[in-house]
């Protein structure tokens, strides 16, 4: 088990396997680095160095009561990157982790980041308003907050159903995957998870997307019931200097796990391009 104690005393758990060009994975809410198992094994076997951390307040890292915001998340990543002296790194972020990855790349990544991959990412902005009519109504986010605060043990049993698209006709419920989502969620701290709803939904990543000058791959499923692709992916690609986008028909928010073969190949092709 590897941990890094940050300057504010927070302990960050991380995995660091292999050698070669580094790939740094940023997990989604309210999960942990374990959500990247399929990618860690795939890229490790292909000669890459793979790094994945548990964000503060999540997984095996310190259950923080403060600092649960996107600027701090990016700063934490920077401390870990500098500790490991990572260079020429591909940063891959899913959902909330996509926001963290692009904020890190924009603010700290010059000379260290070679490419970025955003998977079902919350960028540039999730909330529905007059400028983002396809976004998520604030009432939906308030409901997530309320359930996380008061009922997360049951809520974390229910949310994986739309997360992985198990509620669609013909979909087969994978109980182990649902249980693993619950396990990861319940490892984290309720205060950090509650605060992080605001961080992932109300942070505006417009300027981050505009600033990043390395190639960025945007991957999204058009049946994502958690982060609508029309409000995020289609808007992100318009802001990027060197962006490429793939929208997968019928795939869910959890496609990096249930469709790992498709997603891993897309990432590998992008890395090699």
- Residue 102: pLDDT band with limits 50, 70, 90: very high
pLDDT value at 1 more than 90: no
Q: Give me the pLDDT at residue 76, please.
A: 98
Residue span of the structural domain in which 41 resides: 2-272
85 catalytic, yes or no? no
Give me the catalytic one of 61, 95, 201, 266: 95
* CA 54/CA 60 separation, integer angstroms: 6
Query: For the segment 240-254, what is each residue's pLDDT rounded down to a tens digit?
Result: 999 999 999 999 999
253 catalytic, yes or no? yes
Question: What mean pLDDT value characterizes the chain?
Answer: 97
Q: What is the pTM of this model?
A: 0.97
3-class DSSP state of 207: helix
Domain CATH for 248: 3.40.50.1820
Give me the catalytic one of 27, 53, 58, 253: 253
- Residue 17: pLDDT band with limits 50, 70, 90: very high
pLDDT value at 229 more than 90: yes
With beta carbons less than 8 A apart as the criterion, state whether 73 and 105 touch.
Answer: no
Query: For the segment 139-187, what is each residue's pLDDT rounded down to a tens digit?
Result: 999 999 999 999 999 999 999 999 999 999 999 999 999 999 999 999 9
Q: Give me the pLDDT at residue 165, please.
A: 98
* CA 63/CA 12 separation, integer angstroms: 10
DSSP summary character for residue 171:
P
Q: Give me the pLDDT at residue 50, please.
A: 98
Q: Which residue, 228, 261, 247, is CA-closest to 124?
A: 228
Residue with tokens 């401390």: 79
Give me the catalytic one of 34, 54, 195, 224: 224
Q: What is the mean pLDDT of residues 183-207?
A: 98
Tell me the CA distances in angstroms from 54 to 42, 189, 200, one per residue in order: 20, 12, 16
3-class DSSP state of 11: strand
Helix, strand, coil distribution of the chain in percent, nearest 5: 45, 20, 35
Q: What is the mean pLDDT of residues 33-61?
A: 98
Per the structure, how many domains does the chain have? 1
95 catalytic, yes or no? yes
Instruction: Order the strands of the 89-94 sheet from edge to edge.
Output: 2-5, 11-17, 49-53, 22-26, 89-94, 113-119, 216-221, 243-248
């Amino acid at each position: 088990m590897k941990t890094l104690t940050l300057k504010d005393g927070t302990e960050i758990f991380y995995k660091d396997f292999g050698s070669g060009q580094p790939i740094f994975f940023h997990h989604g809410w309210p999960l942990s680095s374990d959500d990247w198992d399929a990618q860690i094994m795939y890229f490790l076997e292909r000669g890459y160095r793979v790094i994945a951390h548990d964000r503060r307040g999540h997984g095996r890292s310190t259950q923080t009561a403060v600092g649960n915001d996107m600027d701090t998340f990016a700063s934490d990543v920077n401390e870990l990157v500098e500790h490991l002296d990572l260079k020429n790194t591909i940063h891959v972020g899913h959902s909330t982790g996509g926001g963290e990855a692009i904020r890190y790349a924009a603010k700290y990544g010059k000379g260290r980041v070679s490419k970025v991959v955003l998977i079902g990412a919350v960028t540039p902005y999730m909330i529905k308003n007059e400028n983002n009519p396809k976004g998520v109504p604030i009432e939906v986010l308030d409901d997530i907050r309320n359930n996380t605060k008061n009922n997360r043990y049951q809520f974390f049993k229910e949310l994986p159903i739309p997360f992985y698209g198990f509620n669609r006709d013909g979909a087969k419920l994978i109980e182990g995957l649902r249980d693993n989502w619950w396990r990861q969620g319940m490892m984290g701290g309720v205060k950090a998870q509650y605060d992080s709803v605001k961080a992932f939904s109300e942070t505006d990543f417009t300027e981050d997307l505009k600033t990043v000058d390395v190639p960025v791959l945007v991957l999204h499923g058009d049946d994502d019931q958690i982060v609508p692709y029309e409000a995020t992916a289609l808007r992100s690609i318009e802001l990027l200097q060197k962006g490429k986008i793939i929208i997968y028909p019928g795939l869910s928010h959890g496609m990096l796990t249930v469709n790992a073969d498709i997603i891993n190949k897309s990432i590998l092709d992008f890395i090699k391009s």
